[in-house]
């Protein structure tokens, strides 16, 4: 039975046109919330709605040993609700979520602070850079460490290139960082590749590379875009790239290319100290998002899944 104001819809009953219009108009709309992203990356997903798609929330789920659980797919940084969500529905929302599944890992987006605080969710770091101004004004915010690394990079005659080979970019990322992400399986990379090819056909997949003097790729970024942001989903830096400060040069070039647009550069993180300090060099703002985990499974089943 639906809680007044909040409607549960199974996947087959979702109006994707209305759903995507909600994401378009939501003040906290993100690419991960669009039906095309969810359809490509989620094993299964249903929906919670406020009224007639005034606000929406995907319920991303799977089953293990017959137990349904909610999870956050790889390459999909933030979920939660999108749109104009009345604060009085928070308690009802939590009840609706926990009645849908007794185990969940949820990542609420930056616009869900009130919901996250209600559940004492863990705060995560995400840096974004407003690209609306020109490059010179953006560069003023660069930290000394970044400026010094750019001086190093400029000594090595590297070149900034537009690339189109999605699968090569994904494979480069996987070969360098795949062992650090044991939970990301072959099927997840395949799903992401299919999504990127779909987005590339709509000019929403951007690949940029830095090549050395011999023409070898030493740093790359696979970026996705919507009408509001450019998302740094896969960034690869080779050993030689690190020596030559190629990644500093890469993001400086990306910022220069898109400066003056109506977009934000979304760095997609991070709480890893080295990555965090690298992104901080560019003078971004921290736009926190939130992780909420609960396990209401009965004993002893709750011991099997933590």
Report CA torsion sign: 181, 304, 59, 129. Answer: negative
User: What integer pLDDT is reported at residue 240 of this predicted model?
Assistant: 98
| Other Cβ atoms closer than 10 A to 59 | 23
User: What integer pLDDT is reported at residue 65 of this predicted model?
Assistant: 86
Confidence label for 303 from pLDDT (cuts 50, 70 and 90): low
Q: Indicate whether 22 pLDDT > 70.
A: yes
Please list, in sequence order, all residues whose beta carbon lies within 8 angstroms of the beta carbon of residue 4, skipping any fewer than 6 positions away.
Answer: none
C-alpha angle 266/138/259, rounded to 5°?
Answer: 65
Q: Whose CA is closest to 236, among 253, 226, 223?
A: 223
pLDDT-wise least confident of 39-53, 73-87, 135-149: 73-87
User: What integer pLDDT is reported at residue 3 of this predicted model?
Assistant: 54
Tokens of 135: 């490059």
Q: Whose CA is closest to 250, among 284, 204, 208, 281?
A: 208
Establish if 192 belongs to a structural domain.
Answer: yes
Q: Are residues 222 and 207 in the same domain?
A: yes
Q: Whose CA is closest to 124, among 293, 289, 292, 294?
A: 289
CA distance 177 to 183: 12
Q: Are residues 108 and 133 in the same domain?
A: no
pLDDT tens by residue, 62-116: 998 889 999 999 999 999 999 987 677 888 888 999 999 999 999 999 999 988 8
Q: Whose CA is closest to 25, among 12, 13, 34, 38?
A: 34
Q: Are residues 184 and 110 in the same domain?
A: no
User: What integer pLDDT is reported at residue 284 of this predicted model?
Assistant: 99
User: What integer pLDDT is reported at residue 116 of this predicted model?
Assistant: 85
Q: Are residues 119 and 167 in the same domain?
A: no
Q: Are residues 106 and 207 in the same domain?
A: no
User: What integer pLDDT is reported at residue 92 of this predicted model?
Assistant: 87
Percentage of residues in the chain having pLDDT higher than 70 = 96
CA distance 306 to 302: 7
Q: Indicate whether 1 pLDDT > 50.
A: no
> Model-level pTM?
0.94
Establish if 248 belongs to a structural domain.
Answer: yes
Q: Are residues 119 and 132 in the same domain?
A: no
User: What is the helix (H) or strand (E) element at residue 221, kind and residue range?
Assistant: strand 217-225
Tokens of 304: 């099997």
Confidence label for 184 from pLDDT (cuts 50, 70 and 90): very high
Establish if 1 belongs to a structural domain.
Answer: no
Establish if 258 belongs to a structural domain.
Answer: yes
User: What integer pLDDT is reported at residue 118 of this predicted model?
Assistant: 80
Alpha helices, H only, the chain: 16-25, 35-41, 90-100, 113-118, 135-139, 144-154, 166-177, 186-200, 239-243, 246-258, 273-280, 301-304
Q: Which domain holds residue 75?
A: 6-124+289-304
Establish if 261 belongs to a structural domain.
Answer: yes
Of 86 and 2, the structure prediction assigns the larger pLDDT to 86
Tokens of 230: 């450019």
Establish if 199 belongs to a structural domain.
Answer: yes
Q: Are residues 119 and 147 in the same domain?
A: no
Q: Are residues 218 and 298 in the same domain?
A: no
Establish if 45 belongs to a structural domain.
Answer: yes
Confidence label for 217 from pLDDT (cuts 50, 70 and 90): very high
Q: Indicate whether 142 pLDDT > 90.
A: yes
Q: How many domains does the chain have?
A: 2
pLDDT tens by residue, 288-302: 999 999 998 876 666
CATH classification of the domain holding 293: 3.40.630.30
Establish if 144 belongs to a structural domain.
Answer: yes
Q: Indicate whether 254 pLDDT > 60.
A: yes
For the chain, the average pLDDT equals 95
- Read off the DSSP letter of residue 181: -
HSE-CB of 260 using CA atoms within 13 angstroms: 5
Q: Are residues 202 and 273 in the same domain?
A: yes
Q: Are residues 88 and 172 in the same domain?
A: no
Q: Are residues 98 and 239 in the same domain?
A: no
Q: Are residues 16 and 112 in the same domain?
A: yes
């Amino acid at each position: 039975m639906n809680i007044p104001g909040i409607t549960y819809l199974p996947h087959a009953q979702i109006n994707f046109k209305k759903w995507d219009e909600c994401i378009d108009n939501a003040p906290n709309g993100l690419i991960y919330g669009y039906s095309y992203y969810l359809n490509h990356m989620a094993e299964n997903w249903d929906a919670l709605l406020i009224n007639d798609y005034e606000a929406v929330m995907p319920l991303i789920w799977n089953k293990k040993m017959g137990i349904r659980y909610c999870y956050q797919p790889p390459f999909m940084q933030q979920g939660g609700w999108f749109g104009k969500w009345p604060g009085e529905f928070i308690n009802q929302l939590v009840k609706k979520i926990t009645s849908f599944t007794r185990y969940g890992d949820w990542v609420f987006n930056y616009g869900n602070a009130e919901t996250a605080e209600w559940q004492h969710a863990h705060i995560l770091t995400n840096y974004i850079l407003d690209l609306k101004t020109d490059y010179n004004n953006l560069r003023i915010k660069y930290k000394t460490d970044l400026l010094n690394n750019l001086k190093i990079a400029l000594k090595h005659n590297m070149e900034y290139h537009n690339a189109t080979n999605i699968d090569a970019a994904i494979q480069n990322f996987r070969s360098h960082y795949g062992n650090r992400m044991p939970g990301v399986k072959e099927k997840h990379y395949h799903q992401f590749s299919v999504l990127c090819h779909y987005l590339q056909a709509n000019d929403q997949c951007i690949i940029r590379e830095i090549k050395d003097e011999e023409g070898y790729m030493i740093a790359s970024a696979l970026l996705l875009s919507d009408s509001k942001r450019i998302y740094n989903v896969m960034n690869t830096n080779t050993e030689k790239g690190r020596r030559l400060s190629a990644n500093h040069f890469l993001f400086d070039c990306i910022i220069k290319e898109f400066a003056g647009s109506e977009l934000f550069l979304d760095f997609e993180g991070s709480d890893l100290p080295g990555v965090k300090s690298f992104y901080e060099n560019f003078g971004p703002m921290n736009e926190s998002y939130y992780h909420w985990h609960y396990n209401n499974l009965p004993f002893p089943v709750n011991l099997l899944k933590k």
